[in-house]
Amino acid sequence: MSTHTIVENWRHLGMHTISSKINANLEINENAQNHLKTFKASTTFPIGLPRVAFVLEDIASRKKWINRIDEHYSFNVDKEALSFKSYEHYKMMWPIQDREYVLQSQWEVLDKKYLPTVTFSTKSIQSPQFPLRNDRVRGELYLLQYTLVQITPNKTNIAVEIQVDPKGKMPKLFVNMIQRNWPINTLKSIYLLASEDGEIHRGLIDKMR
């Protein structure tokens, strides 16, 4: 899956606190698709890239930092290509119906960069393994992309951008309001978990050599 980036038209929305010593820049892309905005946040973690990458992909880790996720299954995992497909179910509060997504994720090492750089991109796909259900709404993820840049072995610049349509009867204005906060909240959660001692993404390290 090739890396996809929304056409550049970013507008600064301000700085937000990630921790006592870390702030993140929040931006909005006005090139809306189906009246949905794209939001991006970026900052620098005092953490090595392989540790951040592990937290982004590992299922057990994801269940700790992704809000409302109830089920996560990976399938068609290709360790050589660093790609996989997944099914995610999100438990919502009444009266909002539960959401589900079928996704394709791919790591990519960007060779023509001055500093070691990787992307982790995810988008919605269709799969006969997970047909539509009456008790859940199938959302569509147009773009979720993390860009990691290794500043030093213990310092990583991270940017995340997202454009998603949860479908159903939720007004697009309400969706945009929720998604505005998502990149900052996500970086906070990733930072807290990645700051703990833990495993690193060894497969990605091999690809970066």
DSSP 8-class letter at 191? H
As a whole number of angstroms, the distance between CA 62 and CA 53 comes to 11
Question: Which residues is 87 bridged to in the sheet?
Answer: 73, 102
The sign of the torsion formed by the CA atoms of 6, 7, 8, 9 equals: negative
pLDDT of residue 203: 92
Residue-wise pLDDT for 57-114, tens only, equals 999 999 999 989 999 999 999 999 999 999 999 999 988 999 999 999 999 999 888 9
The structure tokens 């960007």 sit at 110
Whole-model pTM?
Answer: 0.92
Give the burial string for 49-75 (b: 16+ CB within 10 Å, else e): bbbbbbbbbeeebbeebeeeeeebeee
Instruction: Give the helix/strand (H/E) hosting 77.
Output: strand 69-78
